[in-house]
């Protein structure tokens, strides 16, 4: 595949070229077995807000060790549940949200299976999930894409920053709006959206870091507004 050499491509073309180039660079991924169960994905992602992955995992497993069943998590004194979540940011608020969300899930599905989401349209499932306390766009899209292979696109801080720097989305677009804008530029196919999400996430972690992006090593630099307009002119930040 030839690299696009022109950073003046339309945002739609940049999105597609970025997808193709990063597929080659990082390798195309298969959307097969989810990395964790639906309930694990949901509750862990609720814990992940402003929290590192390592600390999110510590909080999740400490909670499950102290309260092995979801009924026990629901019945736990909120202070004690909060203690188990202390490695996450805002453990008190998260403990309350998790208990409220579990109650709503139990009312809908007494065995805490989220498989009923399979019977909903993508829009209905998004709406239902985002009605849970502590569940926003990122959590709902991660769960629906990773576990239910629905055509949605999680936009976390890395996907957002890399998309903005390349010029796929504008500098003033909010993270909330970025979800719909990016989704409209890409095929509504879960495997494509999964690869786009994972690759931009990795790119943001490994090369297009918040501080000092490693542009010289970047395979999409020929597409990138930041590289062409800022880096090449020797300015440090946009």
DSSP type of residue 27: -
CA distances from 21 to 52, 186, 224 (A): 28, 15, 12
CB of 29 to ligand SF4, least distance (A): 19
Nearest to 107 by CA among 131, 135, 123: 131
Q: What CA–CA distance (Å, rounded) separates 178 from 143?
A: 18
The closest alpha carbon to 218, from 229, 209, 210, 207, belongs to 207
What letter does residue 86 receive in the DSSP assignment?
T
Q: Which is nearer to ligand SF4, 140 or 166 (CB)?
A: 166
Contact residue for ligand SF4 among 148, 194, 196, 226 (CB under 6 A): 226
Only segment of 68-76, 98-106, 137-145, 217-225 that touches ligand SF4 (CB under 6 A): 217-225
Candidate segments 42-50, 78-86, 123-131, 222-230, binder of ligand SF4 by CB under 6 A: 222-230
Name the residue nearer to ligand SF4 (CB basis): 15 or 215.
215
Q: How far is the CB of 52 from ligand SF4 (least distance, A)?
A: 22
158, 201 contact by CB (below 8 A): yes
Nearest distance, CB of residue 213 and ligand SF4, angstroms: 4
Contact yes or no for 193/186 (Cβ under 8 A): yes
Which CB atom, from 107 or from 217, has the smaller least distance to ligand SF4? Answer: 217
Helices 157-166 and 175-185, packing angle to 10 deg: 70
236 half-sphere exposure, CB direction, 13 A CA radius: 2
Contact mark string toward ligand SF4, 147..176, x via CB under 6 A: ---------------x--xx----------
If the CB atoms of residues 142 and 224 are measured against ligand SF4, the closer one turns out to be 224
In the complex, the smallest distance separating the C-beta of residue 238 from ligand SF4, rounded to whole angstroms, is 9
Binding to ligand SF4 in span 175-214, by CB under 6 A: 207-208, 213-214
Nearer to ligand SF4, 137 or 166 (CB): 166
- Which residue in 221, 229, 234, 236 binds ligand SF4 (CB under 6 A)? 221
DSSP helix/strand/coil, 114:
coil
DSSP 8-state symbol, 64: H
Interacting residues with ligand SF4 (CB under 6 A): 162, 165-166, 207-208, 213-215, 218, 220-221, 224, 226-227
């Amino acid at each position: 595949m030839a690299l696009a050499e022109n950073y003046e491509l339309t945002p739609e073309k940049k999105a597609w070229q970025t997808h193709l180039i990063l597929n080659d660079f990082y390798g195309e991924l298969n959307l097969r077995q989810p990395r964790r169960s639906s309930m694990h994905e949901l509750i862990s992602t609720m814990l992940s807000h402003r929290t590192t992955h390592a600390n999110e995992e510590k909080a999740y497993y400490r909670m499950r060790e102290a309260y092995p069943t979801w009924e026990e998590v629901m019945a736990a004194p909120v202070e004690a549940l909060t203690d188990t979540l202390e490695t996450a940011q805002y453990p008190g608020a998260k403990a309350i949200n998790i208990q409220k969300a579990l109650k709503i899930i139990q009312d809908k599905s007494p065995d805490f299976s989220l498989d009923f989401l399979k019977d909903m349209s993508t829009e209905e499932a998004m709406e239902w999930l985002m009605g849970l306390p502590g569940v926003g766009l990122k959590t709902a899209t991660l769960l629906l894409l990773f576990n239910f292979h629905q055509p949605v696109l999680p936009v976390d801080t890395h996907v957002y920053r890399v998309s903005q720097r390349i010029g796929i989305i504008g500098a003033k677009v909010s993270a909330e709006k970025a979800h719909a804008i990016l989704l409209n530029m890409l095929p509504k196919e879960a495997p494509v959206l999964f690869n786009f999400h994972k690759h931009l996430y990795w790119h943001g972690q490994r090369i297009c870091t918040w501080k000092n992006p490693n542009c010289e090593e970047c395979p999409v630099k020929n597409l990138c507004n930041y590289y062409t307009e800022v880096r090449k002119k020797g300015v440090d930040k946009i």
